[in-house]
Structure 1
Amino acid sequence: MRRTASPLLKTKLFVPESKSRLVQREHLVNSISEGFRQGKRLVAVVAPAGYGKSTLLAQWAHHAGMPSAWLSVDARDNDPARFWRYFAASIASALPEQHRRQLETNCQWEAGVSIYTFLDALISGLPEETDQKHAFALLLDDLHEITERSILDGLSYLFDYIPDSMHVILSSRSELMIPGIKRLANGEAMVVGLSQLQFTASETESLFHLVNGELQLEWTSSQLDELQQKTEGWITGLQLHLLSLSRRTSNENLMSPLSGGETFISDYLFQEVLHSLPDGLHDFLLRTSVLSRIDASACNALTGRRDGRQQLNELQRLNLFLIPLDGTRTWFRYHHLFAQFLQGQLRRRNEEEYAAMHRAAGLYFSKNGLMEDAIDHLFEANENALAIQALEQHLPLALRQGDLSTLMNWYRKIPDTYSMTLELSLLHSFLLVLAGDLERSERVLERLEEEIDGLSPSNHQDQLRSSLLFVRSNLVFLNGDFSGWLAFSEKIRNHLAPDNPVFYQFDYNRQEPYVRRTSLGMKGMLSEETEKVGKLFIGVLEGHGWKSSLLNLYVKQCLAEGYYEWNRLADSRELLMQLRNSDRLQGTPGLLIPVLLTEARLHAAEGKSALAYHTLDEAAEAAAACIHDGRRWDHYVRAVRSNLYLRDGRLGEAKKELAPLHSGSGSKPVYRRETEFLALVRLLWRQRKEAEALPMLELLKLQAEREQQIASLVEIICLQALLEAQRGQRLLSLRLIEEALVLGKNNGYRRTFMDEGTDMRRLLKTYLADRYNMRASSDSDQGISQQEALLEYVEKLIHDFSDTPDIPALQNLSVPDLLEPLSGKELLLLEQLRLGATNKQMAAALGLSEGTIRVYLSRLYEKLGVSTRTQALVKTQSLPLPGGSILSD
């Protein structure tokens, strides 16, 4: 039966069993635990192969008394997307349910997002408590396999900021290549090195007694001391030497092979052990040694026999360096040193047989849907045609997972002498674009363009030109060479044909609430040139029958969102209606949800609240129907609904809408959940909790700057300005709104300002008056033209508000007949009075005690010049308070 390939191999996350026939290294286990008790949070176990590093980590995990996350690192993990995917999955396995959900929500790797943004999200999902109940350990085995600099930099960043609840133990054969591990310098880390890992004389004796039940040899204490000294405590050497004695009949010359380097000794002793085995088992080991993961079926595929399970059971009985990779003893691997030795023996026996075993392994894994293993084995067997066939089959999944480094590494394995098809070369160029290698991708595309132009006119040539146009279109969104794209598209627009679905059906958005936040949407950059390219691109695609291609639909959505931002609502609506009629919409949540959210905001902008809420109900149903990531899409819908509730003055409903998002004011904002946290900021703004909202915005702003996310920056800075204005920081507020206006003007932004309502209009008028006054009092002409252009932009923005349904303001009331302005809490209290709330209900709604409510009411009555609740209501009947309710359930 064909197995379904999983994005995660569970065997990489399995804590190896602590076998009974192992020497228990209690002093080292206790030493590591004591280090953690003394405040150490990072333990590095560093020694050459064969000194029991993995065994020590496993023994500690089984005796630690805290949840342990395990990750077995291998060379394939040098792909950042793959490494961090497994890294996050490993940590999630050790967390309590609440933290696991938060980490899974926050922490989704996406190509194009900086590793530090990803790690900030990961760290924010970890428990901060230091009590034992929430403590956990992460064990990274064989970390020396990682050489990719970006991963090492990411680990360095992580180790500098991990919370007290997280302990890290890692093993490595060589000195750590992780830059800047500050903890090693400031006393928060410890190293367990070679001298500590070497077996002591007593441990050598313990090992001898464990295996002597089968050997039945009599050794003196002096012989054991000599054995320990000659092996210098090298654990694998000791095990091998004892195993090699299993067929000897005397104790003579027991130490003779123990001279020379470790490699020489291990090869000699492995040879001794191997020759003592039956021929059938000997041959089984050699043939299956090429497998990095072993199960009975894979063994049968390579040996041509049916006794794989029995042979694996026999290897376990003999304790022959077979390591279980799961709890059911289905999957195994050989000890790395043993596997290297066996593969060397196989190649010396027959190089063709070595290649044949890799070929058989590749075909077996391919048949069972384990394509990563299949591709690696087929390349190792020099079966390039089969490897490329498997690569083409696996490529769509690898692209969805963002495994760009892995894909590029496979391309590097294709020999220069192998003639790749033009289709495969175009895929290569597409990968280069996605990986950000723009110069190289341009060179490859120029070469391919020449080759394609040199072909005889045919449908095949037109298909290749279509693919070329697709790749160049992606390139232009990164390098900004619009004029070059226009010239190229004009040259070939009459020579295009339906294309490979890998290209034109590529799903550009799997995580963002709006397509303009993606690289395709240029992260919020808007200009007349981008509009021109987008419209021409749509025209080219639809003119050749590609109206339903995902690329065409995503470009349309980018334009629709851009038109909304430019306040060209009719143009936005026209594109949204076209998208709504597409058959592809329902099966693509990364397109469907942004379409519905944009449509809902458009309805709200036109004052059609009922239609806006109806559209959001439709979006919520679509999110619920998503097989994958439905909760994330639902959170985006809730965030937008909360914003609309606040614009309609329905404060209580907005608060209730955000409750399931678990993004309370104490949560640390993360880039991946920016939309949710900005909704929370708006709620806090309406509740006049500026002190809670502003730190969130500062963190979100830093993340948006790091990601060069223009759309986010303008929105965040606008909210900063509004909150500072609300708390009376006039100069700071004006400086911030100018920062947002400069960014907004450069991209023609309108709705980001207008959607904030009356408070934004008031702030813009204040800014305009202030800058005109400054200009009038200034003698300098420097920068006058730029300042005039900015002020003209502000005047147009203010004018745009006249066509927008009014949104309630939140400024403090300043009415002539009041003794002094009402504070934020007093305004909210007055709103409760109008709703007829009792003191108890007010206390619940505002999070205060009933005694505090009575004090606030007394001060409110004093300011209003009244003495009763009824008089207060009569006095304030005509005051423009925000509507809605914040009554708690």
Structure 2
Amino acid sequence: MTRSMMATKLYVPAPRRGFVVRPRLREKLRLGADSGLTLLSAPAGFGKTALLADWFGEAAGQDRCVAWLSLDPADSEPASFWTCVVTSLQSAVPGVGSSALELIASPPLATELLLTALVNDLAAVPKDVWLVLDDYHAVDSRDIGTGMAYFVEHLPPRVHVVVSTRSDPELPLSRWRVRGELVEIRAADLRFTPDETAAYLNDVAGLDLAAGQVSTLDQRTEGWIAALQLAALSLKGRDDAAGFIERFAGDHRYIVDYLVEEVLQHQTEAVRSFLLQTAVLDRLTGPLCDAVTGREDGSSTLAALERANLFVIPLDDQREWYRYHHLFADVLRGRLLSEQPGQIPLLHQRASRWHESQDHTEDAVRHALAGQDFDRAAHLVELAVPMLRRSRQDAVLFGWLKELPDADIRRSPVLSVFYAGFLLVSGDLPGVESRLADAERALAAVPALADAEGALAAVPDGPTPPLADTEEVQTVPATIAVYRAAVAQAGGDVGGTAAHARHALVLAGPEDHLARGAASGFLGLAAWADGDVPGALQTFTQAVASLHAAGNLVDELSSTVVLADMWLASGRPGEARRLYDNALQLADARGDSMVRASSELHVGLSEICRQAGDLSGANRHLEAAAVFVERGPMTESRYRWFVAMGLVAQDEGSPERAISYLDQAEQLFRPGFFPEVRPIPAIKARVWVRQGNLAEATGWANARGISVTDAASYMNEYSHLTLVRLLIAQQRAHPDTGAATGAVELLDRFLALATASGRAGSVVEIRMLQALAHDALGERRQALESLRSALADPPEPEEYVRLFLDEGPPMVELLREAMRDATREAAREATHDDGAAVRVRDRARRLLTLGEPPQPSPPQPKPSRPGERPPSDVDPLSERELQVLRLLDSELSGPEIARQLFISHNTLRTHTKHIFTKLGVTSRRAAVRRARDRGLM
């Protein structure tokens, strides 16, 4: 949707001319300042929107921000709904919601995560913020209701939501009502009282009716405002007002039809025709109305309708955009359907063409679909694909594809291939190939079009257009090959991945950077899975460069994580760290829009810090990533965060906590685009071995079905090196079994493979394990020789700390002896400073120093983490605030905490606000951390 169209949805309506002021309702709205939600629930025509416009207009000078959103059925998809909500809030409070918008653009939709980010932004706003959701019934659904409930229950104290709807929404209203957290205005409240009816009919409408006539209309309409408005319009200029009022009877179902008919009869044929034909439009502007009606008086007619109070509502201050009152529009559409049903598709098609000419893509597609012009809708979607891909509006594209008939999708190469992409992302691998085959068949049938858009302009009311001949069509063959490479990668078919990726490079044009980047990426992944790390580095570096050339910064930064993993495998953790640092600097410069990429980079850096022995640095990076990861979508960064947390927990001496984190990682992991070179079950097995729980580790090995006689391959390397650790532990527990003998032979095979493939990182680990295996077998000389090689060869030895220290006392003993031997050798041979003996001596000494238990020191305040401010110097926490704080460190929701303390949710909000202020934080998580740092918990 273009900026101008979106603005009409965000327009705060001006107070209506002649509005009857209703102090009793203003007072009820004012009470909303003390609650999270104000609900206006009444049928159409009860003045909900007019009341809100009056109240917010009356208090316009107050210290508050008003975000208004007029909803319609096009916003009923959760991604579209939350995009509109965040955009509305940004219009009132610039700067909030940037990270939330980026999360929305990254399917699958992580509702709680984006709302957490949004709530945190709103918590920092120093003014009251009012979010008004008008016509909420148009989007009400279980999916949206779940998110709304979460949002309302986590609102900061100064943020308030107002929902205006024709029917009660799917929200926990009863729960909020009992807690006193809900202000309700219903039809009984909104009905005009007799005095208000008299004020409207005589003072506003100027009808000068007798008291009895006013009373009759009040009784017949039951204070229903829309009916009174229609009655007033019908009475204007009548000589038989009394007779009209006497005839005016019936229930609401018939009153509207009767009154609209009365109103329409008093209009000229030109106005009546205009009203019926433009009823298909949700929003009206003069040129659009002209395109639909075929006339040239749209702007003047709209202005005249507004002057006549004929249910036309302005949507901007310039009086360019309008909408009909919803009740009036419903009746007009019903009348149009009964009188001119054959005209409706044509009217929608004309609206679609006009919106297309104005680059209002979403409205153009919506009207084409409503007009059942599915060929045209498919054409428009094809034209929109480049824009949607650049802006990452995947949810919008998928929503359109779901509405199109399957036949239209299958005969479009572009739509077929992107439908395949959605199936791939959702995990439906078997369905992908069928759609790719459809794309190939459709591609072969596409005629050569010189200028598809020009052809459209030549036949505005003519035949449906051919499928678009866009740049996307030209890239379809390469995209098909890329998706086939992805399917092969997900299935573990390394050869197929490489073959399809090479084919994609052949098909991609020199300027098709996105396809070339994807193809090079899959070639690199195939080489990596095959153990060819130098080849993987070369091709994947080209992939990242192509993504940069395509301007796809998010994917470029995310791919840096994979490239860094390859550098780690090559034995160059320092190069991986440099890549991470540069990418993180670039992501931070872009701010909240890169929060997802930033979190992935922080997780990667945490792993490097941990391996280098810097646990505090690892924790800092994991804290920085936590805001995105804990509730995020199924991405690499999410499950990897739990893996990294588990490894840190292990190093901190908590194997139970480590296994808990790894269990969560295992639940989140989905086989996808990256080789599974470090299986989570094997990571858990290493924790068990280090813990001494050999029974669990043996169960893992038996379930995996691996043994020392297996052939060596890179994809199985991590699991087999885990098996070696288990065998060494079994050898030490039962020396007579000779369990480690087979491990030595297995390590020899893996060492030869890693050396030939240029995987220096693997070489260091294998030689270290050879030292432990020989030592467990009592072969001390061979053990020291292997350890000497492991210490002497790494090009960046300072990055390898946990690799050695994680092996415990046996490794410490070997390091001490290796240091003594190297010290003697260096002195005896007067080795130069860069000699092997000196390197072994210095590296062993450094590891032994790092492995010594830390000396106790006075507790120091930890640095501020994301979401925290410097601690304030205000009064200490009260006893009640300490009670609240302890419950914040639990799984209880805000309402559940309030119930446990026997206080209202609003009182809890107040306590929480005071706690945040005193601790200098802006979120629940940060408050708990700061309290622990200060010894309050």
TM-score norm. by structure 1 comes to: 0.67
- Describe the shift of the 1:848–1:210 C-alpha distance in structure 2 as closer, same or farther (beyond 3 A): closer
| 1:807 matches 2:770 | no
Task: For residues 134-155 of structure 1, give each alpha carbon's deviation from its aligned partner in whole angstroms, at most 9, with x where no partner exists.
Answer: 3312111111112543223322
| Alignment-mate amino acid for residue 765 of structure 2 | H
| Alignment-mate amino acid for residue 327 of structure 1 | D
Q: 2:411, 2:484 → 1: CA distance?
A: 28
Q: Mean alpha-carbon deviation: is it higher for 354-363 or for 549-558?
A: 549-558
Question: Residue 614 of structure 1: CA displacement?
Answer: 7.2
Answer whether contact 1:566 1:750 (CA < 8 A) is retained: no
Question: Residue 55 of structure 1: CA displacement?
Answer: 1.7
| 1:199 matches 2:198 | no
- Which residue number corresponds to residue 318 of structure 2? 328
- Describe the shift of the 1:444–1:462 C-alpha distance in structure 2 as closer, same or farther (beyond 3 A): farther
Q: 2:629, 2:557 → 1: CA distance?
A: 25
From 722, 744, 760, give the equivalent of 1:793: 722
- Which residue number corresponds to residue 85 of structure 2? 87
SS in 2 for 1:176: coil
Task: For residues 408-434 of structure 1, give each alpha carbon's deviation from its aligned partner in whole angstroms, at most 9, with x where no partner exists.
Answer: 665676679989736477358437626
- Describe the shift of the 1:822–1:352 C-alpha distance in structure 2 as closer, same or farther (beyond 3 A): same
- Describe the shift of the 1:563–1:275 C-alpha distance in structure 2 as closer, same or farther (beyond 3 A): same
- Describe the shift of the 1:435–1:204 C-alpha distance in structure 2 as closer, same or farther (beyond 3 A): farther
- Describe the shift of the 1:361–1:459 C-alpha distance in structure 2 as closer, same or farther (beyond 3 A): closer
| 1:683 matches 2:617 | yes
Report 1:595-610 matches (<5 A). Answer: 595=559, 599=563
- Which residue number corresponds to residue 160 of structure 1? 153
| Alignment-mate amino acid for residue 21 of structure 1 | G
Answer whether contact 2:137 2:169 (CA < 8 A) is retained: yes
| 1:703 matches 2:649 | no
Q: 1:333, 1:285 → 2: CA distance?
A: 11
Q: Mean alpha-carbon deviation: is it higher for 43-52 or for 308-317?
A: 308-317
- Which residue number corresponds to residue 71 of structure 2? 73
Report 1:155-234 matches (<5 A). Answer: 155-178=148-171, 182-213=175-206, 217-234=207-224
- Describe the shift of the 1:188–1:179 C-alpha distance in structure 2 as closer, same or farther (beyond 3 A): closer
SS in 1 for 2:38: strand
Answer whether contact 1:411 1:428 (CA < 8 A) is retained: no
Question: Residue 92 of structure 1: CA displacement?
Answer: 2.8
- Which residue number corresponds to residue 315 of structure 1? 305
From 113, 119, 137, give the equivalent of 1:117: 113
The gaps in structure 2 that reach 5 residues or longer are: 449-470, 708-718, 726-746, 748-761, 769-789, 807-845, 863-869, 874-937
| 1:18 matches 2:15 | yes
From 30, 33, 49, give the equivalent of 1:33: 30
- The share of aligned pairs that are identical, in percent, is 23
Question: Residue 331 of structure 1: CA displacement?
Answer: 0.9
SS in 1 for 2:184: strand
Q: 1:231, 1:200 → 2: CA distance?
A: 11
- Which residue number corresponds to residue 277 of structure 1? 267
Q: 1:549, 1:586 → 2: CA distance?
A: 5
Answer whether contact 1:44 1:169 (CA < 8 A) is retained: yes
Q: Mean alpha-carbon deviation: is it higher for 389-398 or for 601-610?
A: 601-610
Q: 1:399, 1:531 → 2: CA distance?
A: 28
Q: 2:89, 2:676 → 1: CA distance?
A: 41
- Describe the shift of the 1:101–1:682 C-alpha distance in structure 2 as closer, same or farther (beyond 3 A): farther
From 713, 719, 725, give the equivalent of 2:645: 719
Answer whether contact 2:99 2:114 (CA < 8 A) is retained: no
| 1:357 matches 2:390 | no
Q: 1:265, 1:745 → 2: CA distance?
A: 58
Question: Residue 696 of structure 1: CA displacement?
Answer: 7.8
Q: 2:570, 2:178 → 1: CA distance?
A: 60
Question: Residue 210 of structure 1: CA displacement?
Answer: 3.9
Q: 1:363, 1:540 → 2: CA distance?
A: 39
- Describe the shift of the 1:251–1:437 C-alpha distance in structure 2 as closer, same or farther (beyond 3 A): farther
Question: Residue 569 of structure 1: CA displacement?
Answer: 3.6
- Which residue number corresponds to residue 372 of structure 1? 362
Q: 2:596, 2:697 → 1: CA distance?
A: 52
SS in 1 for 2:200: helix
- Which residue number corresponds to residue 48 of structure 1? 43
Q: 1:722, 1:410 → 2: CA distance?
A: 45
Question: Residue 809 of structure 1: CA displacement?
Answer: 6.1
SS in 1 for 2:130: strand
Q: 1:341, 1:782 → 2: CA distance?
A: 70
Q: 1:815, 1:443 → 2: CA distance?
A: 55
- Describe the shift of the 1:806–1:228 C-alpha distance in structure 2 as closer, same or farther (beyond 3 A): same
From 510, 514, 529, give the equivalent of 2:492: 529
| 1:575 matches 2:539 | yes
Q: 2:638, 2:587 → 1: CA distance?
A: 23
SS in 1 for 2:122: coil
- Describe the shift of the 1:67–1:546 C-alpha distance in structure 2 as closer, same or farther (beyond 3 A): same
| Alignment-mate amino acid for residue 500 of structure 1 | V
- Which residue number corresponds to residue 542 of structure 1? 505
- Describe the shift of the 1:319–1:786 C-alpha distance in structure 2 as closer, same or farther (beyond 3 A): same
Question: Residue 50 of structure 1: CA displacement?
Answer: 0.4
- Describe the shift of the 1:573–1:783 C-alpha distance in structure 2 as closer, same or farther (beyond 3 A): closer
Answer whether contact 2:26 2:55 (CA < 8 A) is retained: yes
| Alignment-mate amino acid for residue 51 of structure 1 | F
Question: Residue 293 of structure 1: CA displacement?
Answer: 0.9
From 128, 131, 139, give the equivalent of 2:132: 139
| Alignment-mate amino acid for residue 355 of structure 2 | F
Answer whether contact 1:14 1:325 (CA < 8 A) is retained: yes
TM-score norm. by structure 2 comes to: 0.64
- Describe the shift of the 1:682–1:206 C-alpha distance in structure 2 as closer, same or farther (beyond 3 A): farther
SS in 2 for 1:93: helix
- Which residue number corresponds to residue 475 of structure 1? none
Report 1:656-805 matches (<5 A). Answer: 683=617, 685=619, 702-703=630-631, 707-709=633-635, 712-723=638-649, 725-726=651-652, 729-732=653-656, 735=659, 768=689, 770-771=691-692, 774-775=693-694, 785=702, 792-793=721-722, 795=725, 799=765, 802=790, 803=794, 805=797
Q: 2:299, 2:354 → 1: CA distance?
A: 17
- Count residues in correspondence: 719
SS in 2 for 1:249: coil
Answer whether contact 1:289 1:342 (CA < 8 A) is retained: yes
- Which residue number corresponds to residue 867 of structure 2? none
- Which residue number corresponds to residue 52 of structure 2? 57
Task: For residues 495-523 of structure 1, give each alpha carbon's deviation from its aligned partner in whole angstroms, at most 9, with x where no partner exists.
Answer: xxx98356467799xxxxxx9xx99989x
Q: 1:828, 1:68 → 2: CA distance?
A: 40
| Alignment-mate amino acid for residue 617 of structure 2 | L
Report 1:244-643 matches (<5 A). Answer: 244-398=234-388, 421=411, 423=413, 426=416, 429-430=419-420, 433=423, 436=426, 438=428, 441=431, 445=435, 448=438, 452=441, 460=445, 500-501=473-474, 503=476, 529-544=492-507, 550-551=514-515, 553-557=517-521, 560=524, 569-579=533-543, 582=546, 585-595=549-559, 599=563, 635=598, 639=602
Task: For residues 673-699 of structure 1, give each alpha carbon's deviation from its aligned partner in whole angstroms, at most 9, with x where no partner exists.
Answer: xxxxxxxx953747xxxxxx9888887
Answer whether contact 1:408 1:431 (CA < 8 A) is retained: no
Q: 1:375, 1:209 → 2: CA distance?
A: 46
